[in-house]
Amino acid sequence: MNICINGFKGRMGNAIAEAAADSGHTITGKVDIGDDLKAALSASDVVIDFSFHTVTRSVFETAAELGKPVICGTTGHTQADRAELLKIAEAMPTVWAGNYSIGVNLLCYLTEKAAEILPLSYNAEITEMHHRMKKDAPSGTALMLAESVLGPRNLSYDDLQHGREGVPGERGEREVGMHSLRGGDVVGDHSVIFADIGERIELTHKASSRAIFARGAVRAADWVMEKKPGVYSIRDVLGLT
């Protein structure tokens, strides 16, 4: 398989190139700001995009024009932007996820099951920590976890509480706490806590290498090549649906 990497100079670019080489694939495009994505993607079978949220539209539009599949791991989009981008992504086989790790997606699956089983009295709190250079907050993975809590509990993004300060009052049962920490070189730590009177359940994943995300992205690229146009999740790739 010939792979075009968009965002090659970013933290994930080299990791994806190494994972692709380990899987016997060829990198036919190394694209970053100012490079010609269309030319690189024309010579490739698929594009893997780990870049910046402001260029996602151009990546999707170029892939749609050329009829090429997309693996997107870029985060930081507003809900309105994401809704518009999903419409474009339906034109070609697209896997779009905030995290491509097998462990993280298992965490999302377990979180969803816990949210289905536990009553609202088990208050849900989500924490995430990343390196000091990360630009967006909360992380895409934290938002995946939030969706795993909100859906089964019939809640919405309006029920998310991003941090607390001052005297916010007592915590409501519908509230889902979201807390972002930044510092050092942390690759990615995520936890979901369900706390009731007398006990709490904690589900945690800690990443120590970006290779786990890169391997997942390459695995998704292998999987998506035989799929019809449409938007898929990494849980589709892993069979966790």
Claim to verify: residue 157 and residue 84 sit in the same structural domain: no
DSSP result, 178-216: EEEEE-TT--EEEEEEEEETTEEEEEEEEE--THHHHHH
Q: How confident is the model at residue 99 (pLDDT cuts 50, 70, 90)?
A: confident
- Smallest CA-to-CA distance from 110 within 202, 220, 187 is with 202
Question: Whole-angstrom Cα distance, residue 181 to residue 162?
Answer: 12
CB 162 within 8 A of CB 139: no
Q: Which residues pair with 103 in a beta bridge?
A: none
Q: What is the pLDDT of residue 11?
A: 81
Q: Tell me the C-alpha to C-alpha distance, in Å, between residue 217 and each of 60, 97, 102, 202.
A: 17, 9, 10, 27
Claim to verify: residue 123 and residue 220 sit in the same structural domain: no
Claim to verify: residue 141 and residue 55 sit in the same structural domain: no
Q: How confident is the model at residue 13 (pLDDT cuts 50, 70, 90)?
A: very high
Q: What is the pLDDT of residue 149?
A: 98
Claim to verify: residue 187 and residue 215 sit in the same structural domain: no
pLDDT > 90: percent of the chain: 90
Claim to verify: residue 140 and residue 153 sit in the same structural domain: yes
Claim to verify: residue 163 and residue 194 sit in the same structural domain: yes
- The domain of 57 spans 2-96+210-238
DSSP 8-class letter at 63: H
User: Both tokens of residue 39?
Assistant: 């030319």
Q: How confident is the model at residue 10 (pLDDT cuts 50, 70, 90)?
A: confident
Q: What is the pLDDT of residue 195?
A: 98
Claim to verify: residue 196 and residue 214 sit in the same structural domain: no
Residue located via tokens 């849980």: 235
pLDDT > 70: percent of the chain: 100
Q: Tell me the C-alpha to C-alpha distance, in Å, between residue 71 and each of 82, 95, 122, 197, 231.
A: 15, 5, 35, 43, 10
Give the number of domains in the chain.
2
Claim to verify: residue 44 and residue 127 sit in the same structural domain: no
Question: Whole-angstrom Cα distance, residue 60 to residue 44?
Answer: 15
The mean per-residue pLDDT over the stretch 176-197 comes to 97
Instruction: Tell me which of 30, 38, 53, 134 is the catalytic residue.
Output: 134
User: Both tokens of residue 22?
Assistant: 């380990």
CATH number for the domain that contains residue 39: 3.40.50.720
Q: Which residues pair with 201 in a beta bridge?
A: 194
Claim to verify: residue 130 and residue 62 sit in the same structural domain: no
As a whole number, the mean pLDDT across the chain is 95
> Each residue of 161-170: pLDDT tens digit?
999 999 999 9
Claim to verify: residue 200 and residue 106 sit in the same structural domain: yes
Question: Whole-angstrom Cα distance, residue 158 to residue 153?
Answer: 13
Claim to verify: residue 166 and residue 115 sit in the same structural domain: yes
130 is catalytic: yes
Claim to verify: residue 178 and residue 227 sit in the same structural domain: no
Instruction: Tell me which of 77, 130, 190, 205 is the catalytic residue.
Output: 130
CATH number for the domain that contains residue 198: 3.30.360.10
Q: What is the pLDDT of residue 98?
A: 85
- Tell me: pLDDT of 241 over 80: no
Q: How confident is the model at residue 29 (pLDDT cuts 50, 70, 90)?
A: very high
